[in-house]
């Protein structure tokens, strides 16, 4: 799971960088309909998972949710098939 979390963090950084470039070139209005808010929520879930107590009953559900969300990057060269739920 650690590798999946690193993957998420790397995608979050790369996607935010890309959106910053778009905003710089075309103005902030260009990203109003983006999936940028969703990126923030996924990053928040990944960070929550990292600090969650192993005995927390929500851990398995959050692990599954992160694997489902990672499928949106299935075409990325660093995505791994074993991360599928």
Question: According to the model, what pLDDT value does residue 37 have?
Answer: 79
CB 63 within 8 A of CB 1: yes
Q: Residues 39-83: pLDDT tens digits?
A: 888 999 999 999 999 999 999 999 999 999 999 999 999 999 999
> Which secondary-structure segment (H or E) carries 18?
helix 2-26
The pTM for the full model equals 0.83
Q: Is the pLDDT at 31 greater than 90, yes or no? A: no
Q: Which candidate, 46, 37, 39, places its Cα nearest to that of 65? A: 46
- pLDDT value for 57: 95
User: Angle, to 10 degrees, between the axis of helix 59-70 and the axis of helix 36-51?
Assistant: 140
Is the pLDDT assigned to residue 34 strictly greater than 80? Answer: no
Q: How confident is the model at residue 84 (pLDDT cuts 50, 70, 90)?
A: very high
């Amino acid at each position: 799971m650690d590798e999946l979390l690193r993957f998420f963090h790397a995608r979050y950084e790369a996607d935010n960088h890309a959106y910053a470039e778009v905003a710089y070139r075309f103005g902030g209005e260009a990203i109003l309909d983006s999936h940028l808010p969703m990126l923030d929520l996924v990053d928040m879930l990944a960070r929550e998972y990292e600090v969650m107590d192993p005995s927390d009953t929500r851990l398995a559900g959050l692990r599954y949710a992160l694997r489902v969300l990672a499928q949106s990057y299935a075409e990325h060269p660093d995505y791994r098939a074993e991360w599928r739920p």
